[in-house]
Structure 1
Amino acid sequence: MSESPTDPMIGRLIDGRYQVRSRIARGGMATVYLATDLRLERRVAIKIMHGHLADDNSFKARFVQEARSAARLAHPNVVNVYDQGQDADMAYLVMEYLPGITLRDLIKDYGRLTPEQTMDILEAVLGGLAAAHKAGIVHRDLKPENVLLADDGRIKIGDFGLARAANNNTATGQALLGTIAYLSPELVTRGIADARSDIYALGIMTYEMLTGEQPYVGEAPMQIAYQHANDTVPMPSVKVPSIPRELDELVLWATARDPEQRPRDARVMLDQLLDVEKLVRPASADTGMAPTMMFPGGFGDASATADTQILGAQPLAKPAAALPSSSTLLATKGEKRKRRGYWLFTLVVLLAALAGGTGWYFGSGPGSQIAVPRLASMTPEKAAAALAELDLTSKPGEEYNNEIAAGLVSSTKPDAGTRVAKGTAVTVLVSKGRQPITLPTLTGLGQDAAETAITDLGATVGSTDEVFNSSLEEGTVVSATRESDGGDVSKGGAYFEGLAVNLVVSLGPIPDVTGKSVPDATAILKEKGLGAETGEQRYSDTIAKDAVIKLSAAKSGPVRVGDVLVLTTSRGPEPVEVPNVVGKPWEEGKKILTDLGFKLKYNPGADAIAAVLTIDATDPAAGQTIPKGATIELTPKF
């Protein structure tokens, strides 16, 4: 970022010691200036917190934490922090100054780096990160913006503003302050970070250096976060087939979604990288060529944001590797101009060696094989075009697939990621949709048998509803429906793999409490999980007074556990008025009374009945109300 002509900080003397010269960069939390340490007469970078954040204790704590975390480290690949303090209401941090570019700038200039250049940068970053992990510090915000490639070839990591002790894994409100593109799955889902979270971020950076792009992209941060939490980072060679398999495996190891499957810290990954380097470039020792170096150049001040710019200049015993941004980087200031011929000569030698190696690699070496790309969910036409770009041919095929819509590519043979020779025919399998199945009759089967029949066909069991049923035993399927559209499949029918079937299962019949007292009936129903309430009373010739005549549901539909049933109880027999049969013929009067449900008793005895002509009297007398079925005494008239 260019210097602002109106910046009030330019020329200011901070804490009586640091004279501000120019602005280097500005970020969301602070601005970084080039300054002169008047006491030690050296150039430094001074990071000054924005004024509107100075009163925020949480930001100030992070600012101080950065100084303390970095100050605990002493490593040539970690930026040095010299001082930290406050001048009036202004919090500041003093760091070593080193002009150069960030790894982000380098990737932007070149698109992607070679495997050798990637390994050189990765080795330096892992060295510094291993020192941090050994000191118990987790960086938590590793990204290309925080890796500085200095003009003199050194590589440093910095910006420990999010760093915390490695044993402090508890999530806080600032757990997701790191750049979303490099956050590990555990940081996204649980807000927890340890040394393995740094390893994940470094794996993503390695993928980006090798391919020139990040593995996950999206229109919104949450889309990217979702992919980190749920997807597996693809092999870099899917994008760039020339990438060695060993680097593929290193990236997959570092970016495993399960932290337990990653290197436990940077030292473990560094040791593995050194072994990989021996396999990937065994010819270096024979040719006498050193790893790619960061060539000196006239970069001026770094242009990265203030919160991610790494500043520093301490000599290294062994310069770390990096990459020149273009041929103009070979031009240097002062005496460096005299070395232009040397660097050009070296570059020509390197390019010649690279050309020879490339011819071998793609002609008869590992580069002659190509990783089958992931084509799932593409149209067949796009899949064929993608294969053609990789010098592979496509062969059509079909398969049923429960996840991919019909008409789109569901898989390939060989599988995605498999390395094959150029010209190989890859079978592109297009989805025919879900596999059709035919369900058997399910009504009348036991629940276990029905579920087995469903799952054996590749469908799933959805919801299970339990109802009381008077005709089916407990545990027997009453009915079944398709979850997809509610269609009845009680008697079987067409369906598809992967879809659910909902079952209704019998709880057996509702207990018969007819003739029971209300307390007894309530207790019996309660044992079955049913409630009871007393409803209307009715006359009954057969059920004793106050006993239960019948049950009915309080609401329509099947009866389930927890439902309340209504008890209809007896009022006893219905009262009937005695009719007047006095004076009627004997047989006619008897018929009238018996038709009304009365019982009859004769007075005098049966020996005189034959001479009876009419009914002379009744007891009870006509007009009285008595229960239906009661006995009436008849007096005959001879």
Structure 2
Amino acid sequence: MQQDRHDDRRARAGGAGAAADPLTGRVLDGRYRIGSRIARGGMASVYEATDIRLDRTVAVKVMHPGLGDDNEFAERFVREARAAARLSHPNVVAVYDQGDDHGTVFLAMELVSGHTLRDVIRKESPMPPAKALALLEPVLSALATAHRAGLIHRDIKPENVLISDDGRVKVADFGLAKAVSADTQHTATGGVLIGTVSYLAPELVVNGRADARADVYAAGVVLFEMLTGAKPHEGETPIQVAYRHVHEDVPAPSATVPGIPAYVDALVARATARDRELRPADAAVLLHQVHRVSHALAEGVVDDPDLTTDLTPLRARLEAAEAPTTEDTAPDPLGGPFQPGQVLATIPAAADADLTAPLRTLDPQPAQAAPRTRTTPPVPPAGRAQPPGADGARPPGRRRSRKGPLLLIVALLLVIGGGTAAWWFIDGRYTTTPGVLGMTQSGAQDALESAGLEAEFGDEAYSETVAAGRIVSTDPEPGAKVLDGGTVSVVISLGKERYDVPKLKGRSEDAAQDALLATHLGYGRSIEKWSDSVPAGEVISSDPKAGTTLRPDSPVDLVVSKGPKPVDLKDWVGKSVDKAMEWLAKKGLTGKVASEEYSNDVPDGAVISMDPQGGTTVHRGDQVSFVVSKGPELVEVPSVRGAGVDAARAKLEGLGFDVRTEDAAGSLGLGFVWSQSPGAGEMVPPGTTITLSLI
């Protein structure tokens, strides 16, 4: 069982604790840069952080080190994101994201700048009832939305009610919330009660089970604290406080702060009834009752007996009716005061015993019975006729027999009148709420009006068992007592809660996740896949596909594009550029001849170099540039015929040719060039050998 936590919600950077915090400055999941710590609770700490991807300030809730290693705690922590993300309500702190960064489990949520209800209670309590109810109303509105979604908060307390600088009220920390089903309503995990002991409903202490009425109880305790500035049950240990929740009623606020109207006391008593069957069924019903009380306060009503009676739990009404008061006393012919409680106690005896026995019990201090004595009747005067009798005397007791029935009748009338008055006060003026579950709206209205009650059709709710348009619940419940002419709140079924998978193709992964959460569906996982047509990071499809109808929170997987599949670029240096272009086209790549150059080493039309180089990984659509060879650069051979061999050699070698000489046929040994090969005017590459024939 958790004790009250003293959250340091206003701790900011610059303190010694903040400077020493190892998380400050760290980036979680490559997205959230952690700043100063602003709160610390029993399971986690909350930090101000920056969402790098969306460039916004958020609050990041990080599970305490070590708890993330406990799968049970970690799973409960992860459920917070899914539970809270389902709640789209202006009075609920929005949850954006959830992740696990190498064992650091965290949530990213809306950052609310301001203070908590605890701060307001410290400064302003005891506060006027109208202000207390105004602060409680948005809390109940948020809880009502959660209860309609099948979720309970289980840790309602002033620390979890945030008030922004502009006055907006938001409920935080749905981390302990759990979907309520027919099979699992336990709030105990591993024998540890979840919730703060000062606001813990009695049934959680006794059997560890909770439903929406546990939140109603906690809200009632918060209301008491706002009205009085103190908690209803105090103790030196959490066990003592829990014991008092189970065995002691929450006292009336007016006992601490005189002047609070009786109907406000009754509202607190109704919300904090130890028997959860006597509490409002959920936050929506309590919100309706708060509206009634707020309306009475706004009109300046000091006392409203009907409203007080209607709000007071039935058990308290019975106890009040049975308690003797001066107003309930009436003269008793036997000398004692008339007590309604005694009348009720004696009526059964009168049915099967001497009718005078109940009457004697009416005297709270009966006199000691005098001993019976037989008296001798007086002898009548001589000559007067005697009435018939055993001895000629009047039978004893005849005179008393005339007065006894009269006294008995009077006493019986008082008994019957008192019993009738008690019956009327306790039960007679109440009507049993008829069973209208499963009826249509018009049928339910007719049935309630026939019973002398007024139907109030409030919020609608989803139901897996009741068809749409029919009654799913009432407050009071069928068979419960309600004042004649009272109001019965009726909830109409919306049918089974189902949602269609939205069209997600073409959206970014983040936008698709947001769309799923907004549609009350769950995000399952992302499956990456290569795609030549869908840009990287965009959704290709979903599983189940768009348009599929699912239960709330059903997981939907996203198929996300990784972009075109990479290509390993082949090395085309020294190879035909035409063949390179054909290969690139088949791979979805673009080829481009950037330039052509002469090369003595690379044949004409072959690739001298390429960018990117061969072996590089590229993607479809990328461009590859080539430098292509034009072959070696050609030089025109000059004419050296008739020149001396030395002059001819010098000229040709100066142009980069090699020179070879030989004697021509019939040479005279003069050393002049007779002919040359290649001949004059031919285009040949530098380095070509020119053969000179000498005469």
TM-score (norm 1): 0.44
TM-score (norm 2): 0.41
